[in-house]
Amino acid sequence: MTERIGTEGIHLADAAGPAGLRIYAIGDVHGRLDLLEAMHEAIRGEIDGNPPGDWRIVHVGDYIDRGPDSKGVVDFLIRATGADGRYIALAGNHDAGLVDFLADPNPDGLFARHGGRQTALSYGVDADFSSHALAHEAAARLRAAMPREHVEFLATLPRSVAFGDFFFCHAGIRPGVPLARQNPEDLIWIRGAFLDSPLLHEKVVVHGHTPSSVPEILPNRVNVDTAAFSTGVLTALSIEGTRKRILQMSADG
């Protein structure tokens, strides 16, 4: 048995979701609408074939950038979350980065430097970020091209949600800080202090943000970011009581 480090937290082996509730937590999508649709189809098949008392589908952020169809992913999530509150979309740093770029077009910021061009292209904008003037021009064209509801959706995404013994966010938490007092920026940006900590937390943290070739399943956290935009593999964690399973959708089927 894996050693329990820390006396106040909970170990993944002991963690449970609320009775009667099945949860699916889907990792970073980054414009891979094809994989997101396939994952939802597989989950819907499970729910219809073996109905739980209730369910939630939690997306842990980073819906845009790098992949080919950011606009399609945002459309998909707006429809899903608008139709049924059991679909939950959390904020990722890339989602916040687009909102920041529209307000302050920085050619050296996250959006411009890490996949923003692919996002702009999905809205029909061929963006150039090579200077401040061109970045401002790109932002103006992108603001004109993006539906207002897309900007509002990305700007108002919640940073976290919790069910039972599990806490869901994009990047992770600041170890040692109560979950209720976490810095919202840590929830979408933190890496080293969280990833390197062996301490058990108040709840097991389910997150993305840091790409891994395989899902990371550790005593205090589960990382479901398998770099779908480059690997062609989208990962989700299923939780039902104390049972935890990994689901994966591949571009190869």
DSSP letter, residue 17: P
Pair 8, 202: CB distance under 8 Å = yes
Check: CB of residue 1 under 8 Å from CB of residue 209: no
Strand order through the sheet with 160-163: 160-163, 166-169, 204-207, 221-223, 216-217
Beta bridge mates, 55: 22
Across the chain, what does the average pLDDT equal?
96
The residue among 18, 97, 87, 86 whose CA lies nearest residue 64 is: 97
Q: What is the mean pLDDT of residues 231-237?
A: 98
Tokens for 83, please give them. 């139709």
pLDDT digits (tens, 9 = 90+) for 72-87: 999 999 999 999 999 9
The answer on pLDDT for 41 being more than 80 is yes
pLDDT at 55 > cutoff 50: yes
Helix (H) or strand (E) holding 120: helix 116-122
Residue 1 confidence (pLDDT): 31
| More confident call, 7 vs 187 | 187
Query: What span, in angstroms and rounded, lies between the C-alpha atoms of 196 and 168?
Result: 18
Domain 1-92+159-253 top-level CATH class: alpha beta
> How far apart are the C-alpha atoms of 84 and 87, rounded to whole Å?
6
Q: What is the pLDDT of residue 6?
A: 45
Alpha-carbon span 157 to 170, nearest angstrom: 11
Q: pTM above 0.85? A: yes
Of 2-11, 168-177, 233-242, the least confident: 2-11
Q: Is the dihedral of CA 188, 193, 196, 199 positive or negative?
A: negative
Start and end residues for every CATH 3.60.21.10 domain found in the chain: 1-92+159-253
Structure tokens of 219?
Answer: 């005593």
Q: How many CB atoms lie within 10 A of CB 197?
A: 18
Report the pLDDT value the prediction gives residue 221, as an integer from 0 to 100. Answer: 98
Q: Which helix (H) or strand (E) holds 88?
A: strand 87-89
Res 46: pLDDT: 98
Q: Is the pLDDT of residue 5 over 90?
A: no
Q: Looking at residue 3, what is its pLDDT?
A: 41
Percentage above 70 pLDDT, the chain: 97
pLDDT at 4: 44
The whole-number average pLDDT for the span 113-133 is 97
pLDDT tens digits for range 188-213: 999 999 999 999 999 999 999 999 99
User: What sign for the dihedral angle of Cα 203, 192, 2, 246?
Assistant: positive
Whether residue 2 is predicted with pLDDT greater than 90 in this model: the reply is no
CA distance 166 to 157: 19
Q: What pLDDT shows up at residue 253?
A: 64
